[in-house]
Amino acid sequence: MESGDPLTFIPALPRRRTDRLVTILTYLFSMSDQANISRRQLLQRGTALAVLTAGPSFRALAQQSSAPDLVLLNLADVHSAYDRLPQLLTLIREIKERQPQVPHVLLFNGDIFELGNVVAQRSKGAADYSFLRAISKEIPVIFNIGNHESDFMEHQEFVRRARGVGISVITNLYDRRSGLPYARTFTTIQLGERAVPVLGLAVNALTTYPKAVRDTLLPPDPVEFFQATYPALTAGAPFSIILSHAGVVPDKAILGALKGQNLVIGGHDHLHLKHETETALYLHNGFKGELLNVVNVKLTDKGVNLTSQDYAVTDTLKGDNVLSGVIAAQQRLHLTPEDTAIVGRVSKAYSVQEAAQWAVETVRRVTGADIVAINHTSFGRGFKAGAVQRKDFNEFLRFDNKLVKTTIDAATLRDLLALANQHRGVPFEKLTGDFIYTNAVIPEDGKIYTLVTVDFLALPQNQPKYFGKSGMVFEQVAQLTSKAVLEAELGKQTAVGHHLDYTG
């Protein structure tokens, strides 16, 4: 905790300090062996968890009955979307200007950085911090740490720099070396005499964090952490806000355990969805800054009314000139001729789903596989019409993975396909979060199929989620990698004029 921070206690918690700690520390005691920290050390250090930096505080305003008491702007998984940050900034200002007398807060639910953006990588997110600084001058920002804030730096540095541009950081992600969270686990939005708690949850799958920092992390199970903290945190509150960067599957368990009224903002899975229950409004607001979600909050004697609206961020929206200039300057400084080299051309624009389908079909054709599976969060961009520079290609395919193969029977293929291609629309209860894109194939009993996929999906811990089965054994396909195959094919197809043709 930074020296000089103004401190406040959650009003709804018990008066005695030790009582306030009980619920939160219960979870930490269960993890003390993993962190190599004693119970006494946790008691000594755990006081930081019950103390908050004062979040946004607003005086109660006399307003017309139709006006909201609070406007919450929601972002997640922006991933250094430099072609949308200036437009997002403009849109945020426009929304604030529509109701200037109403308090506004931006809830940023993780993953501002993108390793596949070479300008962001080489500048350590200079333009991203400029974006955050500009917003914080307009409205308060509460930032929940995701799994990509450490793409360019350790979490301590991210927290320090984020606070330096004026935003409040929360997380339940712990430093294994000290056993303490990298920032406060929760904060509050103060509306007059009423405090609205905001809890931050991170994903606990270590393989989703950059390899360089995994040994330093101690991510608690998000559902268990929620169960340990939620009752005391929300007692007496008009409603609560949960920023979960854990993904859809744990979020479903959290939604089932909620009491009262809640706003739950999801992330990590790059989805766009809205789901309502008796106790919650649950939202995911897309990927790469493609939309801004806005929730109007109206407090009543009977509770709270939450209404949401999505605003698309398109090329026709004018961007902020200053931020556009910052991004252009960073590009001039950090892009090399290799980054701007043209690796192919496309005759028309392709959405990310269309480009991903081309990728799957291309890998199938090159490897001779019957079925190809690539997880949907591997893809960060579609293609704009015209020249495709290497930097654009790297943002399209975010990771380079070895291609691996195995054989499966028809029953396994049916189970795999039941989890695949969720972009085509599936009921909420069947959503698994990050899913796989596949080519079209009809399983036939008695037939054996060759499955080619990326080595990340072949990890034992990932097989059940993506394939519906564990214990599968894979071998590498020659020395092929996903980026090498697709970049070569993009150039080849351009040379013969196919322009990303695919079937299926």
**Residue range 448-458: mean pLDDT, rounded:** 98
Higher pLDDT, 59 or 34: 59
Q: What is the CATH number of domain 68-312?
A: 3.60.21.10
Let me know if the fold of 68-312 is the same as that of 337-496.
Answer: no
* Cα torsion angle, 359, 365, 366, 372, sign: positive
pLDDT of the residue at 40:
36
**Contact 52/13 with Cβ under 8 angstroms?**
no
User: pLDDT tens for residues 245-254?
Assistant: 999 999 999 9
User: pLDDT tens for residues 357-386?
Assistant: 999 999 999 999 999 999 999 999 899 999
**Contact 281/258 with Cβ under 8 angstroms?**
no
**Contact 282/266 with Cβ under 8 angstroms?**
yes
User: pLDDT tens for residues 332-363?
Assistant: 999 999 999 999 999 899 999 999 999 999 99
- Report the alpha-carbon distance of residue 408 to residue 472 in Å, rounded: 9
Q: How confident is the model at residue 19 (pLDDT cuts 50, 70, 90)?
A: very low
Rounded to two decimals, what is the model's pTM? 0.85
**Residue range 46-53: mean pLDDT, rounded:** 35
Q: Return the CATH superfamily for domain 337-496.
A: 5'-Nucleotidase, C-terminal domain (3.90.780.10)
Nearest to 118 by CA among 351, 323, 390, 342: 390
* Tokens standing for residue 346: 């496309």
- Report the alpha-carbon distance of residue 16 to residue 308 in Å, rounded: 38
- Report the alpha-carbon distance of residue 413 to residue 382 in Å, rounded: 28
* pLDDT above 50 (res 21): no
Reported as type and span, the H/E element at residue 157 is helix 155-164
| DSSP labels, 27-68 | HHHHTHHHHT--HHHHHHHGGGGGEEE---EE------TTS-
- Tokens 């606070």 — which residue? 163
> Domain locations in the chain?
68-312, 337-496
Q: How confident is the model at residue 42 (pLDDT cuts 50, 70, 90)?
A: very low
User: pLDDT tens for residues 245-288?
Assistant: 999 999 999 999 999 999 999 999 999 999 999 999 999 999 99
